[in-house]
Amino acid sequence: MSVSVVLAGGGTGGHIEPMLALADALLRRGAIEGGLRITCLGTARGMETRLVPARGYDLRLIPPVPLPRRPTLDLLRVPGQVVRSVSETRVLLRELSAGVVVGFGGYVALPAYLAARRERVPVVVHEQNALPGLANRIGARVAERVAVTVPGTPLRGAEHVGMPLRTAISTLDRPARRAEARATFGLDPGRPTLLVVGGSQGAASLNRAAVGAADALTAAGVQVLHARGPKNTDVTVSPRAPGQAPYVVVDYLERMDLAYAAADLALCRAGAVTVAELSAVGMPAVFVPLPIGNGEQRRNARPVVDAGGGLLVDDADLSPSWIEEHVIPMVTDPATLARYAEHAAAAGARDADERLADIVLEVAR
């Protein structure tokens, strides 16, 4: 079957990573069936300008349509920006002979949805968060299929599919990779291991609490792999004495698959991709939702926590003493970890990329 698939998911990693995971799944189908063309839409200001070409996909740029979360004067500029962006996107869809447009939300997806409707190209929407944004709320009204990551996401016609993930994550065998992963990060092969990560830029509250609990963690025999964020160079821990549990601080984790394989428990934010990756690989987590925004991170984590796959703590309540009282007993108890890991894995989805690819190819004209 010959089909041209246009993917719209620029801006942040939360939109781009699932888009690229779907692209990889479609590419695997194309290698078998032939005749599949994949094009990604983005803007000149998003991370996609780096991430999409690095993965070998064609990237076409359109004018962005920023969508303010609250009523501001910026809203007055949106109609003109939408008209221009939709017009340019329509030209691209015709040039590409688009057979389907798949949107992942954000300021790239909205003009793609509207252009596709005008060009009579079928639309598939994928929503990563439990609380959908404006672009996908609009997109769902014109879409033939709507796939969601979190069960119960309030979108018309929503089908629970899960989050498309990189195969390095979705196929990860944590126990089989553990020794290699711990050696990579300079960790002891046999100690209980805590992963602290606050997203690509780090998180100040997680950094403060973890560093404040460093001595207690060390005393309990817990080693730590802590991604502080590339700008947080002031986040440091004094070297541990020989024979003590290591506390390894890095700016950023390029290999999240190895980080997940190395760790027994994660202390982290609750972004959509993070929650989906952790549950897919069966990693128990203590989720600390971002305290700003519309509360979507708490909603993202809730299904996994309710299933018994982790804990939820408010950002304001996270402290060194909270880590001592709750995290240390959890990470040092193998039976507790095994129970949480089993429930986390049951709440996760490893095949969302293939399931979404099925939907896209069913819809494509």
Q: CA dist 83 to 63, 79, 102, 164, Å?
A: 10, 6, 20, 31
**Residues β-bridged to residue 37:** 4
Residue 294, marked binder: no
What's the farthest any 2 CA atoms get from each other in the chain?
Answer: 67
Residue 94, marked binder: no
Quote the radius of gyration of the chain (alpha carbons, Å): 21
Asked if 142 contacts 109 with a C-beta cutoff of 8 angstroms, the reply is: no
Please tell me the distance from the alpha carbon of residue 79 to that of residue 75, in angstroms, as a whole number. 8
Residues 230, 234, 332, 244: is their CA dihedral positive or negative?
positive
Residue 136, marked binder: no
**Residues β-bridged to residue 158:** 146
Question: What dihedral do alpha carbons 277, 281, 287, 292 form, nearest 10°?
Answer: 0
The amino acid sitting at 61 is L
**Residues β-bridged to residue 147:** 126, 159
Cβ burial of 326 (10 Å; 0-12, 13-18, 19+) is middle
Closest CA relative to residue 361, chosen from 166, 120, 92, 99: 99
Closest CA relative to residue 149, chosen from 160, 136, 137: 160
Residue 232, marked binder: no
Closest CA relative to residue 36, chosen from 105, 119, 100: 100
Residue 297, marked binder: yes
Q: Which residues are annotated as a binding site?
A: 12-14, 129, 166, 200, 297
Q: Which residues are annotated as a binding site for UDP-N-acetyl-alpha-D-glucosamine?
A: 12-14, 129, 166, 200, 297
